[in-house]
Amino acid sequence: MRSILKTTLLTSSCLITTAAQAHVGIVAGPHFSNTTSIVELSIPHGCTDEVSGAEDTIRIVAKVPSSITSVHAIDAVFGQATAVEADQGYNEITWVKTAGTERDSDTQYYTVSFRGKLPDAIFSTVFIPVTQYCLNDNDQEISVSWDTETGNHDHGSSGTANPAPSLMVMPARAPGWNQYTTGADQHLHDMSIFDDAEIVWWNDEAYSSNSVTQALIEAEGKLTLSEIHDNASFWVKY
């Protein structure tokens, strides 16, 4: 471990780019526990109608769970936002497309956002179900609901039909090495949540999104870290 630790002190981490996804998702992160954050949702496609094809989005409704507190809606280029507190344990935010800016077809990429305080629960997944609405050629409203919540072992991966947008609540960090501990019955099966780190180390396994660092890990005969179990203490270098 020592030789890799020394090397990573001299090796800068590479920038990570994320490809556009076909489903509604969270634009960027990280999002830290017990802090106020702006959560931005991406709307890459409109609704698909069997007769008319892909239609432009005219309204977006997000259900922000009560685990996110002090929720404030943010107006977007897409249109103005309103927020109401619902009885079912969430805040509902609606963005309505500015009148006169509707498109004839699905040609635009939209983003909308809100501000809220994230829960004090590191490595937890927060799902934000979203429904988008469109008008077809017959002026009939059609919609798509992105509301399927996956298990913690999946973290809202795109392998699920109509997955709800989700974010991982990350712990606070400092430059250099940080020690974290997973909770009871808490498993991390998606190392991409550490893609902005230089290296993650647990037991005798390590992971890095930096190809140079990953090559060093493999050259030293270390196993590639692919999951971290519950009640595990591990190290992350930022």
Assess if residue 180 is contained within a domain.
no
Task: Find the mean pLDDT for residues 180-198.
Answer: 95
Q: Identify whether residues 34 and 150 lie together within a single domain.
A: yes
What is the domain-level CATH number for residue 129? 2.60.40.2230
| For residue 21, pLDDT beyond 50 | no
Identify the bridge partners of residue 19 per DSSP, sorted by sequence position.
Answer: none
Phi, psi angle pair for 73, to nearest 5° = -75, 150
**Residue 226 has what pLDDT?**
96
| For residue 28, pLDDT beyond 90 | no
* Residue 141 · residue 198 · CB < 8 Å: no
Q: Identify whether residues 160 and 219 lie together within a single domain.
A: no
Assess if residue 115 is contained within a domain.
yes
Which has the higher per-residue pLDDT, 99 or 18?
Answer: 99
* Residue 182 · residue 188 · CB < 8 Å: yes
The residue written with tokens 């997000």 in the block is 62
Assess if residue 223 is contained within a domain.
yes
Per the structure, how many domains does the chain have?
A: 2
| For residue 158, pLDDT beyond 90 | no
Task: Find the mean pLDDT for residues 53-79.
Answer: 95
Model pLDDT for residues 87-96, shown as the tens digit of each residue: 788 999 999 9
Task: Find the mean pLDDT for residues 126-139.
Answer: 93
End-to-end distance of the chain based on CA atoms, in angstroms? 17
Give which of 57, 148, 136 is closest to 95, Cα–Cα: 57
pTM: 0.83
Task: Find the mean pLDDT for residues 110-129.
Answer: 97
| For residue 156, pLDDT beyond 60 | no
**Residue 49 has what pLDDT?**
72
| For residue 11, pLDDT beyond 70 | no
Range of the domain at 213: 2-14+195-237
| Per-residue confidence band for 20, with pLDDT thresholds at 50, 70 and 90 | very low
What percentage of the chain reaches a pLDDT higher than 90? 75
Q: Identify whether residues 125 and 221 lie together within a single domain.
A: no
